[in-house]
Amino acid sequence: MAEQAADRSPRRAAPRRRAVVDHALQRRAALADLTAGRSDRLEACDASPYLQRAAERLGVRTDRPCPVCGRQPLWEVLWVYGDAVGDADGTARTAAQVGALARERPDFAVYRVEVCRACGWNHLVETWRTGTPGTPPARRSRRTAADP
């Protein structure tokens, strides 16, 4: 399989991405609901202190202004999910850390989230999986009782 030429990430050591989902439509709908008064600003701008700290410590500042308050540029932070990442499951990571994890553990999910550090707006921007299709994820020794 050829490398994805569509990867716009200029960061070096970017992990291979597959099953990429762009959440721009949902983001646009959420903003439209907010503008039309169909949703509450407190609801849309509900970034937790944990998310705010993750954006500050591990995220990157973008050139895009916040679509809600317009006062600050948005920050983006990556979160990793999956059994393959072990204790890192559900934690924020830098792009370099995601790259390192992807080389070590081939199959896990990455969520790119945008956050406004002024008003608390946050939304999922993009999700993808690392690794190669068909690559079995590295499993932890955690057992599931799902199979009878």
**Is 31 among the residues that bind Zn ion (CB under 5 A)?**
no
Cβ–Cβ under 8 Å, residues 68 and 47: no
* C-alpha dist (Å) from residue 12 to 18, 41, 42: 17, 37, 37
Kindly report the CA angle at 62 between 60 and 65, in degrees rounded to 5? Answer: 135
Nearer to Zn ion, 47 or 78 (CB): 47
66 sits near Zn ion (criterion: CB under 5 A): yes
Report DSSP state, residue 87. G
Residue 41 Cβ, how far from Zn ion at the closest point, in Å?
10
CA angle 14–46–107, rounded 5-degree value: 30
Minimum distance between the CB of residue 85 and Zn ion, rounded to whole angstroms?
30
The correct pick among 109, 118, 124, 138 for binding Zn ion (CB under 5 A) is 118
Q: Select the residue interacting with Zn ion from 116, 123, 125, 128 (CB under 5 A).
A: 116
At closest approach, how far in Å is the CB of 119 from Zn ion? 3
Decide whether 65 or 90 has the Cβ nearer to Zn ion: 65
In this chain, which of 54, 68, 88, 101 binds Zn ion, going by CB under 5 A? 68
Residues with Cβ within 8 Å of residue 125, at least 6 apart in sequence: 22, 23, 24, 27, 76, 112, 113, 114
When asked if residue 119 is in the footprint of Zn ion (CB under 5 A), the reply is: yes
Among 14, 31, 69, 124, binds Zn ion (CB under 5 A): 69
Q: Which of 14, 92, 102 is CA-nearest to residue 59?
A: 92
43 and 141 in contact (C-beta within 8 Å)?
no
Shortest distance, position 78 Cβ to Zn ion, whole Å:
20
| Binding-site ranges for Zn ion (CB under 5 A) | 66, 68-69, 116, 118-119, 121
